[in-house]
Amino acid sequence: MYSASSKTMPCLLGMSTEEIVRLLEEMGQKPYRGRQISAWIYKHRARNFGEMTDLPLSLREQLSAAFSIGRGEVLLERKSCDGTVKLLLGLRDGESVECVYLPYEGRDSVCVSTQVGCPVACAFCATGLMGFRRNLTAGEIVEQVLVAQDIAVREQGENARISNVVFMGMGEPLLNLEATVKAMKLINSELGISMRSLTVSTVGVIPAIRRLAEYRLPFTLAVSLHAPEQKLREQIVPLARRYPLDELLQACHEYAEITGRRVTYEYVMLAGVNDSLKHARRLGMLLKGELAHVNLIPYNPCPEIEGFEASPPEQIQRFQEELERCGVRATARVPRGRDIEAACGQLKGSLAGRKALGRMSEGCATSERTL
């Protein structure tokens, strides 16, 4: 738990090694002390200054009195039959966010949140129902990767490494652009994860896409399209009213031209809503000739949201084949963590609901810990 004072102290998690070195120099310490502290935070994932045993005791005490590392507590953890682990992470101000550890053969990934709640309110999304609470800091985003790394080591052994990070959890990353970009840079420089292994997902905040293009960072931009027509898209993604489909596609086209990076288009498959072959052909027409790839995402139904069902796997396959016929590369994603409510917002919602009900739910081979 956080002590009252540590809740308000400045955090070192979220600062680069250079920034920590400068801070230590201001405290009259040699630069190598800053590098030692940075290594403890990012490489050894220390949770308190007491663990930093190669620092003099007096410095550890000085740091403890003035700073917090900024690590939170895992409030709830659910493990799926397929190895996916979903975590609810408590923040210093009492808020909480979700992150998901996704083990793949030789490519462990984590899906991180960038906001508490989300102002976008997509029609199919449990996080959207919560409304927007606040932006996360860069440190709070990076911390989710550290938590996932802890889980990877616990599940797979000391050599396990998180190698991919997707910014696709709670919140719209491009409405928290500054912290998102800083977190990407920290994940790259401090955790050693390649920028090419980072994916940032957006529903299409056009001005932020244009700003991101100027950074020329080699991460993958994933745009959640979800519909090939403006009217339908407005029903699924309300922010589409502000950022129309044709302008969004133009911004993505320019993004690909400026950066030379292929844009990924995410398309959640909703039965009877956006999954017909007519929709596939329309999407194919929009993206033909673009530097683009489409990910077809099976919908993860959640009890709080009515009116949407997952498209059957055969329909997803037909949709994919139709896109390919139109000359657009597409992949059907394999659903993960269905038995643990792995879609974003579901775990936080379920903790709140369970607290109200005062009971615990149980899954098949699923395991759950309230911590």
Closest to ligand SF4 by CB, 70 vs 171, is: 171
Enumerate the β-bridge partners of residue 270.
310
Give the tokens for residue 24.
């230590």
Rounded Cα distance between 126 and 351, Å, is 13
- Coil, strand or helix at 37: helix
Residue owning tokens 């963590």: 337
Indicate the residue among 121 and 277 with the shorter CB distance to ligand SF4. Answer: 121
Which one of the listed residues 11, 77, 98, 266 is annotated catalytic?
A: 98
Residues binding ligand SF4: what is the number (CB under 6 A)? 12
Q: Is 123 in the site for ligand SF4 (CB under 6 A)?
A: no
CB 288 within 8 A of CB 326: yes
Q: How far is the CB of 96 from ligand SF4 (least distance, A)?
A: 15
Residue 280: count other Cβ atoms within 10 Å of its Cβ: 27
* Residue from 11, 118, 252, 344 carrying the catalytic annotation: 344
Which listed range, 10-18, 124-132, 190-198, 307-315, lies at the site for ligand SF4 (CB under 6 A)?
124-132
Kindly state whether residue 125 participates in binding ligand SF4, applying the rule CB under 6 A: yes
User: Least separation, in Å, of the C-beta of 344 and ligand SF4?
Assistant: 5
Task: Render 343-360 in DSSP notation, one character per residue.
Answer: STTHHHHHHHHHHHHT--
Q: Is 98 a catalytic residue?
A: yes
Residue 77 or 266: the one with the smaller Cβ distance to ligand SF4 is 266
Residue with Cβ nearer ligand SF4 (63 or 297): 297
Q: Does 227 interact with ligand SF4 (rule: CB under 6 A)?
A: no
Report how far residue 147's alpha carbon sits from residue 142's, in angstroms, rounded to the nearest whole number: 9
170 binds ligand SF4 per the rule CB under 6 A: yes
209 is an interface residue for ligand SF4 by CB under 6 A: no
With CB under 6 A as the contact rule, which of the stretches 68-76, 79-87, 89-97, 166-174 interacts with ligand SF4? Answer: 166-174
Q: In whole angstroms, what is the distance from residue 203 CA to residue 183 CA?
A: 19
Alpha carbons 84 and 104: distance in angstroms, whole number: 9
CA-nearest of 189, 280, 187 to 227 is 280
**Comparing C-alpha atoms, which of 105, 116, 121 is closest to residue 72?**
116
Facing residues of 266 across strands?
Answer: 224, 295
CB of 95 to ligand SF4, least distance (A): 15
Q: Which of 77, 172, 190, 266 binds ligand SF4 (CB under 6 A)?
A: 172
By annotation, the residues acting in catalysis are 98, 344
Contact residues for ligand SF4 (CB under 6 A)? 118, 120-122, 125, 127-128, 170-172, 203, 344
